[in-house]
Amino acid sequence: MRLETARLVLREWREADKPLYAKIIGDPVVRRFFVQTGTLADASIGIDRAMDRLRDVGFTFLAVERKADQAFMGMLGMAPLSDTLRATIAGAPRVEIGWQLGQEFWGQGYAPEGAQAMLDFAWWKLRLTEVVAITYQGNTPSRRVMEKLGMIYDANADFLHPDVPEGHLLRNHVLYRIANPVLSG
Ligand SMILES: CC(C)(COP(=O)(O)OP(=O)(O)OC[C@H]1O[C@@H](n2cnc3c(N)ncnc32)[C@H](O)[C@@H]1OP(=O)(O)O)[C@@H](O)C(=O)NCCC(=O)NCCS
């Protein structure tokens, strides 16, 4: 799987990406809305799982590269929601879109650009009916990306993330939805 935009390539993962992605998820600023930072082992497991998922379902969280200099920028893509999350969220949505870039790439519209290409793939190639995005309610940058994509905040679908410890502020999550504009006419 490979998607291209004006400035980005979204591609399958390589072994060499693992330490680079570990640096991003190990950055406490990147992870300020997560319960903890990630390790090299986390990056490795996540990347292997992403490649397995691509084989299983035909889409996944991909590596993001900048065309101009081939810089590795982070992760962006789609994945099926876990059974636990589906059981927690109103309407049991099926597929989420998500993103995580290194700090030096923020604020240049890269995430919305890559995510729009991913949504176009979801609409035209996969013919999905809906894609959702979830985040901690205070993650304004991520919510801005959702809004730029035309995703709609579902105020009835706020939820407590089951993977975040009870009583933790970061448990409070919000959900944004977007329906397939191709199928809906
Ligand atoms: C969320 C994220 C992918 C956005 O990527 P991006 O390519 O910077 O997206 P944009 O350029 O469209 O900027 C989106 C918003 O980020 C915020 N932002 C921009 N530059 C920023 C910076 N240097 N520092 C902090 N926030 C910044 C702004 O709120 C911006 O909205 P605006 O364009 O209306 O001002 C990126 O911030 C990120 O990787 N964050 C850490 C990981 C994360 O939280 N992922 C989401 C988990 S649900």
Going from the Cα of 142 to the center of ligand 1, the distance in angstroms, rounded, reads: 6
CATH classification of the domain holding 111: 3.40.630.30
Percentage of the chain surpassing pLDDT 90?
99
pLDDT in tens, 37-68: 999 999 999 999 999 999 999 999 999 999 99
| Number of domains present in the structure of the chain | 1
Domain range holding 153? 2-179
Q: How confident is the model at residue 146 (pLDDT cuts 50, 70, 90)?
A: very high
CA of 106 to the centre of ligand 1 (A): 5
What is the secondary structure of 76-136 as a DSSP string? Answer: EEEEEPPHHHHHHSTT---EEEEEEE-GGGTTSSHHHHHHHHHHHHHHHTS--SEEEEEEE
90 pLDDT higher than 80: yes
Which atom of ligand 1 lies closest to the CA of 139?
A: 44
pLDDT at 184 over 80: no
pLDDT for 185: 64
**pLDDT 10s digits, 99-140:** 999 999 999 999 999 999 999 999 999 999 999 999 999 999
55 inside domain: yes
Does a structural domain hold residue 172?
yes
Distances (CA, A) of 33 to 37, 88, 120, 169: 10, 20, 28, 10
Q: What mean pLDDT, rounded, does the chain reach?
A: 97
User: What is the pLDDT averaged over residues 78-107?
Assistant: 97
Share of the chain above pLDDT 70, in %: 99
Ligand 1 atom closest to Cα of 74? Answer: 39
Structure tokens at 143: 């919510």
